[in-house]
Structure 1
Amino acid sequence: MEDITTKITGIDIYTINREDLLKILEEIFQEDELRLIQLLHSNTQINTRINKADIEVPFTSNVGTPQGDGLSPVLFSIYLKHTLKSARKIIGEPKTPIDSIVREIAYADDVDFIGSEHISIDQIKKELENFQP
C-alpha cells in the first residue's frame, strides 16, 4: 500500500474587508444599491454591553458587517462565496484519487482545504489571506 501524505489548511473567515466587499458587489448590484450598502456600512457605531450594563462610550468599526440586521448575512455569504471561488481556481482538477474524494470541508465560516500537494495548499492560504482585513 502506498503512503499518501495529506496536507490540510484550515481557514476561519471571521470578518470581511469592506473595500473588498464593495469591489465584489460592483459585479452584482447597481450604483444606487451599492451606495445604500456603502452608507449602511460607513462609520458604524458599536455600543458594548457587559452584564446588562451599557458601556457609555460607543466606538466606530470599519471592518466586517454589523450583526443583527438582515443584510449582513447575505453580504457575508456573497463575500465567502467569492473567496472560496478564488481558492477553487487554485486547486484546479484533482491530481490523485484521494484528492478527488474530499477537497474541502466547510461549515458556516470555517473551511478546511485538503490536498496531497503542499504547494497548492500554500497558494490557497496566500490567496485567502488577501481577503482578510
Structure 2
Amino acid sequence: MGIDLSQALDTIKRKHILDVLLQAGCNEDELRLARSLLAGTKLRVCVQNKLSDSFQTSIGSPQGDSLSPVLFTCYLAAALSSIRESSNRPNPPISSLGLPLEMEYAHDVDSPDEEKKPLDHLQPVAAEKLKVDNLFMNETKTEFTHVYLAEATETDSHGKAVRGNESWHKNKTLGSLLCSTSDITARCIQGNVTFHTLQKLWSQRTKIPLKTRLRLYNTYCVSIMLYNCNSWAAPKVMLDKLDACHRRHRSLLAKEPYQQPGTMRTVQ
C-alpha cells in the first residue's frame, strides 16, 4: 500500500514539531534555536505574475533550506509511531520473516505486507491518526499493488500469457518501475530520447571539446539511465542491454568504433 500525503510540508503544526524534538532528546538550546528558525515566517502569493503583500504563517515548515526536510522527517516519524501503536501490525514494523513492513522516503510512505487484509484495516487507522497531526492522506491516490508471479497457464482476457507481464510490472515507486527488467528497458528509451534531444550539442565538436561533451553526457544521460540502479535485481542480459546503449552513445560522441558489451562505466 502506497500512502500519498497532500501538501505535507505546508500543513504540519509548528508547536507539535517542538514537542517531537523534545521527545527526541533535544536540549533547551536546540529547542530554542528551532523555535527561533520557525518564528516570524512570512509568505507571499504569486497570482498572474503579481505578488501579494507578505503575511505571517503559523503552520508548515519553511521550505527552501536544509532545516525543512529534517523537521518534517521527525514530524512524520512521530506520526507513524502513533499509527503503529493503534494498528494490529508488528511494532517495530518487521514481519516474522524479517521483512520490513514500512518504508518511507520524504513524504512517500509504503506499507508492504504478505496479505491485503491487514492493509485494508491499516488504511482508515492511518488516515485518522495522520489527521490528528494535521497530515492529510489522499485516499483517492492511495495505491494497492499486488506483487506476485502468475501461474504458467494463466492467461488474460485476450488469451495472452500473464507470466512476465503481471500488472505490477507497470507500477512505480520513487520513480522506478518495480520490475527491474522493465525499468532498465524504460531507462534505455529515456536515455536515447535525451541523447537525441541534445544532438545539436553533441555535433559542435569544434566548439565543445570531447572532455566537456562527455561530462555533459554523464550529467544529462547517464544519470537518467542509472537512476536507482542500486535497487535492480536484473539478469545479465538486461545489464548487457544497458551497457550496449551506453557504448553506442559514447561511440557517437567520440566517433569511436562500437565496442562489444561488457561492464558499463561512466567516462570521466
Determine if the TM-score, normalized by the shorter chain, exceeds 0.5: yes
Query: 1:56 and 1:122 mapped to 2: Cα distance?
Result: 38
Aligned residues: 121
CA shift at 1:107, angstroms? 4.2
Please identify, of 119-128 and 64-73, the stretch whose mean Cα deviation from structure 2 is larger: 119-128
Residue in structure 1 matched with residue 108 of structure 2 by the alignment:
110
CA shift at 1:83, angstroms? 1.4
The structure where helix makes up a greater share of residues is 2
Aligned pair partner of 1:93 in 75, 85, 90: 90
Aligned pair partner of 1:37 in 31, 34, 37: 34
CA shift at 1:46, angstroms? 1.3
Aligned pair partner of 1:10 in 3, 18, 21: 3
CA shift at 1:120, angstroms? 4.0
Query: 2:27 and 2:107 mapped to 1: Cα distance?
Result: 27
The amino acid across from 1:36 in the alignment is L
Please identify, of 71-80 and 41-50, the stretch whose mean Cα deviation from structure 2 is larger: 41-50
The amino acid across from 1:116 in the alignment is K
Contact kept? 1:49, 1:55, Cα under 8 Å: yes
Residue in structure 2 matched with residue 75 of structure 1 by the alignment:
71
Residue in structure 1 matched with residue 18 of structure 2 by the alignment:
22
For the aligned residue pairs, the C-alpha RMSD in angstroms reads: 3.0
Residue in structure 2 matched with residue 61 of structure 1 by the alignment:
57
Query: 2:44 and 2:108 mapped to 1: Cα distance?
Result: 27
Tell me: higher relative CO, structure 1 or 2? Use CA pairs within 8 A at least 6 residues apart. Answer: 1
**Structure 1 pair 36–101 and aligned structure 2 pair: CA distance change class (3 A):** closer
Query: 2:60 and 2:46 mapped to 1: Cα distance?
Result: 19
The amino acid across from 2:41 in the alignment is T
Gaps of 5+ in 1: 1-7
Residue in structure 1 matched with residue 147 of structure 2 by the alignment:
none
Gaps of 5+ in 2: 136-268
- If you compute each CA radius of gyration, which structure gives the higher value, 1 or 2? 2
Contact kept? 1:9, 1:113, Cα under 8 Å: yes
Query: 1:38 and 1:29 mapped to 2: Cα distance?
Result: 12
Q: Deviations over 1:41-71 (max 9, x none)?
A: 12311134457x5615111111111111111
**TM-score w.r.t. length of structure 2:** 0.38
CA shift at 1:22, angstroms? 1.1
**Structure 1 pair 57–103 and aligned structure 2 pair: CA distance change class (3 A):** same
Query: 2:63 and 2:109 mapped to 1: Cα distance?
Result: 21
Q: Deviations over 1:1-37 (max 9, x none)?
A: xxxxxxx573416131112111101122111211121
**TM-score w.r.t. length of structure 1:** 0.70
**2:142 matches 1:125:** no
Three-state SS of the structure 1 residue aligned to 2:3 is: strand
Identity %: 30
